[in-house]
Structure 1
Amino acid sequence: MRVTEIRGHHVGFVPAPAIGNARTMIRRRDFLLLEVVTDTGKSGWGEVFSSPDAAAALIRSRYAQVVIGEAPARYCALWENMVANLGYDRRGPAMMAISALDMALCDLAAQERGVSVAALLGGGLRSEVFAYGSGPFITEGNDPYGHYAEAVERALKEGYRALKPRAGVSPRADGAMLAQMRKLVGPEIGLMVDINQAYTARAAIASARQMEASDLLWIEEPVGPEDIAGYAEVAKAVSTAVAGGEALASAGAFRDVLVAGSMSILQPDLTVCGGYTGFLRIAALAAAFDLPIMPHVFGTIVNHQAALQVSSLLPARRGGGPAPYPYVEVDISDNPLLSLQGAVRPTATGTLEIPDLPGTGLDLDASRLEPWRSETWICR
């Protein structure tokens, strides 16, 4: 099996209404879905959810020539060859481009052997993984949390036993929102919050203290991703676990975080940190520090399927919630690119089945992207 061409599909949609976090309102969601095609007719898929246009340009100008003509089974060597050409862009679109290519190459290497990606990478530890609903989201207006009760009730009916609302409006508002949510869901449902980098360390500590009585599993991205000192300050001041890492793109970045003792839960994103190959290097660091790690995922069905596969490989860690870690994040907003294979819904026990099928278990034909596609390009 050899790579013959790379196809980039630019897709996106307009959320209605716009969904938001404490830092921004998301009025359009754009992605690059990368299809790596082989001489056998098989396709492997990767995704870029941040900086899709910049990553596409780098793939077309720099990385396609590294991959085309090569065997996907050489994914580790190809990853090293691509990383060798990063230059100064070690945590930005270049690594996102490499991430998408690595995801697709591992998908193809597993398909060639007739096994799942988890089996290709050493064998899974579980056949299902606990899922948490990512949402509800902040809306515009005078009452940004006002719709949360309705959204939470809907998520509970869909089977979620853990939820991660967006927070960060103000410490007092955060505390009131979480108190109401805990009262609504009861003591057995896992709750965590995502502040999306919006606070200073001092404000994050004030918010955490307001929310402490609501028994949170973690507080995610309380400050900016490179504010290691701020993360450490928050981690030392509050009893709730501090999580983050979706915006970090290298093992070196996570090393610095771990040495500073600034996170209790690591959340690298496969589309940012170097695909499967980069994620597993970060997972080795997590193991060295005996900390839980789980994939951040907030995009299309491509990264969702990849996150299921990598979740199969991670050792269990008890974090005090309704199930041992790892958990898998599921976007509970109206996301048509997540439901390309049907609605993603947890089982009665709050879990998702991890596909034991060739590759990631993704059955995707590019023609199904047409309603959301703005451009397609091909490298040969």
Structure 2
Amino acid sequence: MKVVEIRAYLLGFAPAPPIGNASRMIRRRDFLLLELVADTGARGWGEVFASPAAAAALVRTRLAPIVLGASPHHHGRLYDRMLGTLGYDRRGPGMMAISAVDMALHDLAAQDRGVSVAEALGGALRTRLPAYASAPFITTDAAEPYGHYEAEIDSILRRNFRALKPRAGVSPRADGAMAMAVRRQVGPDVSIMVDINQGYTARAAIESARRMEEAGLLWMEEPVQPEDVAGYAAISAAVPVAIAGGEALASPAAFRDFLAAGAMSVLQPDLTVCGGYTGFLRVAALAAAYDIPVMPHVFGTVVNMRAALQAAALVTPRRGARGEYPWIEYDASANPLLEIAGALPVEADGTMLVPDAPGTGLDLQGERLAPWTGETWRLAA
């Protein structure tokens, strides 16, 4: 099997209504989907959700000559060669471009063997994962940014979720009131996490965590800027709630610094940022050395969703306050790109099944992306 063609799709949509967090309102979501086509006709898929246009340019100019004509089964060798093209760009679009290619190479290689990616990487440790709804989102345009949470949470619970991650970060006082209202609404058996989306200083995050403490949070995510090791460490030392993060970190070295400082209790590398499956497993090995839970961050299209299920199935379980890690994140906002190849349902017990079909189990034709595609290009061997 050899890669004979690379197809890129720059696509996106405008969320209706817009969704917000402590840092910004999101009125447009853009992605790069990368399709590698093999001489057998098989297609492997990868994704970039941050800096998609820049990553696409780097695939076209730097990575395509390495990948075209190569065997997907040599993904380890190809990964090293792609890393050699980065120069100074080890945490930006260059790593994101490599991530998308690595995801697609693993997808193709597993399909060629007739097994899932998890099976190809040593075998899944589980067949299902507890899912949490990544929602509701702040409405910063409204007088009451959290005012719609009650109705939206009712809808989330009707979709079988037994855990949810509302966005927080309006103010410590407002956060505390919101978290307690959510706990009263969902009762004691539903897990709650909150995501600050880098919106606070360390001092404000500590006050917010203390005001939310009685709600019994599973974790507080990204309380400060992603490279603020000292800030994360100060928060972790000051409050009992687990501090999670890492979706914006792109290398094992970056995660190492946080672990050495005791700054995070849960690691959340994103396959589209940290180097695909290869990068994710390197971070997972590092986390294991510190006995820290690791799970994929997922907030994009069906491509990363399916890849994250495969990756999470490989992670050694760690016992948390409410069952075992890892969890799988599910974007519960209105996202048409999660369902372009059929919905991945949440089961009645709040879990998602890990697909065991070849690759990631994704059957997607590029033509189906047309309603959301702004630009596409192809390169052949």
Query: How far apart, in 2, do the equivalents of 1:345 and 1:110 lie?
Result: 23
Question: Helix, strand or coil for the counterpart of 1:45?
Answer: strand
Aligned to 1:343: 343
Question: Helix, strand or coil for the counterpart of 1:253?
Answer: helix
Query: How far apart, in 2, do the equivalents of 1:260 and 1:314 lie?
Result: 23
* Ranges in structure 1 where 5+ consecutive residues have no aligned partner: none
Aligned to 2:371: 371
Query: How far apart, in 2, do the equivalents of 1:157 and 1:8 lie?
Result: 37
Please show how residues 51-130 of structure 1 align to structure 2 within 5 Å: 51-130=51-130
CA deviation map 1:120-169 (0-9, x unaligned): 10100011111000000011211110000001000001000000000000
Question: Helix, strand or coil for the counterpart of 2:377?
Answer: strand
Aligned to 1:251: 252
Question: Helix, strand or coil for the counterpart of 2:318?
Answer: coil
CA deviation map 1:46-74 (0-9, x unaligned): 00000000000101110110100000000
User: 1:345 Cα deviation (Å)?
Assistant: 2.8
Please show how residues 1-380 of structure 1 align to structure 2 within 5 Å: 1-139=1-139, 140-321=141-322, 323-380=323-380
Letter aligned with residue 75 of structure 2: Y
Question: Helix, strand or coil for the counterpart of 1:181?
Answer: helix
Question: Helix, strand or coil for the counterpart of 2:115?
Answer: coil
User: 1:190 Cα deviation (Å)?
Assistant: 0.3
User: 1:344 Cα deviation (Å)?
Assistant: 3.4
Query: How far apart, in 2, do the equivalents of 1:345 and 1:215 lie?
Result: 27
Farther-moved stretch of structure 1 (205-214 vs 311-320): 311-320
* Percentage identity across paired residues of the two chains: 64
Letter aligned with residue 314 of structure 2: L
Residues matched between the structures, number: 379
8 Å CA contact 1:159–1:345 kept in 2: the answer is no
Query: How far apart, in 2, do the equivalents of 1:49 and 1:293 lie?
Result: 20
Query: How far apart, in 2, do the equivalents of 1:71 and 1:343 lie?
Result: 31
CA deviation map 1:276-303 (0-9, x unaligned): 0000000000100001000000000000
Query: How far apart, in 2, do the equivalents of 1:26 and 1:234 lie?
Result: 27
* Ranges in structure 2 where 5+ consecutive residues have no aligned partner: none
CA deviation map 1:149-207 (0-9, x unaligned): 00100000100000000000000000000000000000000000000000000000000
User: 1:343 Cα deviation (Å)?
Assistant: 3.1
Question: Helix, strand or coil for the counterpart of 2:129?
Answer: strand
Letter aligned with residue 136 of structure 2: P
Query: How far apart, in 1, do the equivalents of 2:183 and 2:171 lie?
Result: 18
Letter aligned with residue 155 of structure 1: I
Question: Helix, strand or coil for the counterpart of 1:268?
Answer: coil
Letter aligned with residue 130 of structure 1: P
Query: How far apart, in 2, do the equivalents of 1:27 and 1:153 lie?
Result: 24
Query: How far apart, in 1, do the equivalents of 2:167 and 2:102 lie?
Result: 30
CA deviation map 1:310-348 (0-9, x unaligned): 111011111111x31100000000000011133333111
Query: How far apart, in 2, do the equivalents of 1:17 and 1:8 lie?
Result: 28
CA deviation map 1:227-248 (0-9, x unaligned): 0000000000000000000000
Letter aligned with residue 357 of structure 1: A
Instruction: Give the TM-score normalised by structure 1.
Output: 0.99
Letter aligned with residue 61 of structure 2: S
8 Å CA contact 1:149–1:184 kept in 2: the answer is yes
8 Å CA contact 1:96–1:271 kept in 2: the answer is yes
User: 1:85 Cα deviation (Å)?
Assistant: 1.3
Query: How far apart, in 1, do the equivalents of 2:100 and 2:343 lie?
Result: 24
Query: How far apart, in 1, do the equivalents of 2:12 and 2:145 lie?
Result: 25
8 Å CA contact 1:231–1:262 kept in 2: the answer is yes
Query: How far apart, in 1, do the equivalents of 2:343 and 2:154 lie?
Result: 18
User: 1:100 Cα deviation (Å)?
Assistant: 0.1
User: 1:84 Cα deviation (Å)?
Assistant: 1.2
